[in-house]
A and B are shown apart, each in its own frame.
Chain A
Amino acid sequence: MADTPSESIDVTYVADLARLRLSPEEIATFQKQLGDVLGYVSQLKEVDVSQVSLLGEADLKNRLRADALQPSLTAAEALANAPAQDNNLFVVPRIIE
């Protein structure tokens, strides 16, 4: 595992992680363009961040609400935009044989 970031990016591998099916042309184009962008963002390496903690002051603390029923979309409304539905459920291709 690389500790230091490379300025090239394995687009095929990352696209698979992102569930994106890319064409060979797209892979080649993105490889070059994202290499340029990574080269640009690598200037952050010159910043001394040793005195900065990762988490800052927040404007908010955790907000809790009563576990009470609120008005909401009906099942029919929630399903209205679904590409496939049946019996008040979203339908997807078979996952388990």
Chain B
Amino acid sequence: MTSLTIPELRQKLSSGAVKSREVVDQLAARVAAVDPQLKAYLHVDADKSRTEADKADVSLPLGGVPIAIKDVINVKGDPCTCASKILQGYVAPYDATVITKLREAGAVFFGRTNMDEFAMGSSTENSSWGATRNPWDLERIPGGSSGGSAAAVGGHEAFAALGTDTGGSIRQPAALCSCVGLKPTYGRVSRYGLVAFASSLDQIGTFTKTTEEAALLLEIIAGYDPRDNTSIDRPVPKYTAALGQGVKGLKLGVPKEYFIEGIDPEVEKAVRAAIDEYKRQGAEIVEVSLPHTKYAVAVYYIIATAECSANLARFDGVRYGKRAENAKDVLDMYGRTRAEGFGAEVKRRIILGTYVLSSGYYDAYYNRAQKVRRMIAHDFRQAFKQCNALLTPTSPTAAFKLGERTQDPLQMYLADIFTIAVNLAGICGVSIPCGFTSNKLPIGLQIIGPKWGEETMLRVAHAYEQATPWHKEKPPL
């Protein structure tokens, strides 16, 4: 049953063929069977989910459907640790706006998914509670930072999950676990109740098995929220209505800078084959250029770390979370609380971010990075004058092995080379399954849309999905 899509599940629930409580039971059984190996979840309270399921109104758009939530989004009464020791024991006192919206649509909350600590990482190895594994190969990473959400959906122990994407943290793990991972336009979805990492980049999005489900969930979670001043007051289209129109008459751009040395030949082959499929379906393929692509990772690691150094200042042992014991004064308490509470990658980024904002270096690093960021955004605006959406690989390689990159932060950062620019430009992107390597590891195709271009982007994703079998393949687990 846990392999059903949401529309299939909805049909069973609304016809009365199955009760929401039984769905929770099935999920709990699947988690008990596979999660000891997969480690996608940090916390499951099946009884709480069963209570919610008993009250669910199955006539609602998500009535009785369980959704897993990345451990960075507040759900009232649940833990929200951000996979960090510094938030051990924290209980969310309120619902994030996305949670309120899902609740109003009838959803049931099932489980908190693992992640890199404070969403900093590309492999979910930076979790304080242990790494998540890839459902297609347990020796490999699921991607990150939303690796728990990706592994849960890819491993069929969640119907759908929420994640967050600051530099690729939804799209890259979705590609590596063979799911659909959607990062909406900056401002499309409220971030009230999301623990902030880099506020000019963070966006909440979805993990699903299919594009239709991504469209359905986006319809529900999108929209202006007076509690998030960066959310934009624009009508929310009916994204599901945009699907099924095919790609005839659309122009799809292929940025030449995304097919570079270092890309795995099997990944390139699968993405080129996807481009050919679009051609076969009647899309016009145009080559475009995004000349500042190669600077995106450098810009990102200045801006994201600068913002994180400010955002994570709030973890000081005063209002919530852990506090170091026997401090001799308040500065000692801050310094030791943060030293004991944060893991290595979070400390590294706080140091780097503090450095690039410090006196004497601000102009050379931070201001320069902001200017190059504007040039990257300009590149995309120019490209979208020639096409409706862009086609690229999501990740330069399939899933790598655990431990392979943990000693070399720079190599880890390069895992996001194809996803980061989308966040810097504030536009939208989705990763969909587009094949497997010879040793059966998933490969993702990234479709990038302009600001507010989700309808066309999802229409393009859906057209490929309908013509290909990849999203139907089941992991060996």
Give A contacts to B, CB under 8 Å: 1-5, 9, 11, 14-15, 17-23, 26, 29-30, 33-34, 36-38, 40-41, 43-45, 47, 49, 52-54, 56, 59-60, 63, 65, 73, 77-78, 80-84, 90, 92-95
Q: Which residues of B contact A5 (CB under 8 A)?
A: 361, 364-365
Distance A20 CA – B349 CA, assembled complex (angstroms): 12
Chain A nearest CB from B413 CB (Å) reads 8
What 3 A-B pairs have minimum CB-CB distances, sorted nearest first? Answer: A21-B335, A81-B320, A83-B323
Whether A44 lies near B338 (C-beta < 8 A) is no
Distance A78 CA – B318 CA, assembled complex (angstroms): 12
Chain A nearest CB from B422 CB (Å) reads 16
Q: Which residues of B contact A21 (CB under 8 A)?
A: 335-336, 338-339
B316 lies within 8 A of chain A by Cβ: yes
B187 lies within 8 A of chain A by Cβ: yes
Q: Which residues of B contact A18 (CB under 8 A)?
A: 309, 338, 350-351, 354
Once A26-B344, A49-B375 are accepted as A-B contacts, the answer to whether A81 and B368 lie under 8 Å apart by CB is no
Whether B91 lies near A80 (C-beta < 8 A) is yes
Distance A4 CA – B232 CA, assembled complex (angstroms): 39
Distance A84 CA – B327 CA, assembled complex (angstroms): 13
Q: Which residues of A contact B372 (CB under 8 A)?
A: 44, 47, 49, 52
Number of B residues with CB within 8 Å of any CB on chain A: 67
Once A15-B351, A81-B319 are accepted as A-B contacts, the answer to whether A20 and B292 lie under 8 Å apart by CB is no
B230 lies within 8 A of chain A by Cβ: yes
Q: Is the interface of B mostly helix, strand, loop or mixed?
A: helix
Once A4-B364, A73-B94, A80-B91 are accepted as A-B contacts, the answer to whether A41 and B321 lie under 8 Å apart by CB is no
Whether B327 lies near A93 (C-beta < 8 A) is yes
Q: Which residues of B contact A92 (CB under 8 A)?
A: 318, 330, 333
Distance A59 CA – B359 CA, assembled complex (angstroms): 30
Chain B nearest CB from A72 CB (Å) reads 9
Whether B375 lies near A20 (C-beta < 8 A) is no
Q: Which residues of B contact A47 (CB under 8 A)?
A: 292, 295, 368, 371-372, 375
Distance A38 CA – B353 CA, assembled complex (angstroms): 11
Q: Which residues of B contact A20 (CB under 8 A)?
A: 335, 338-339, 342, 347, 350-351
Whether B375 lies near A37 (C-beta < 8 A) is no
Q: Which residues of A contact B368 (CB under 8 A)?
A: 44-45, 47, 49
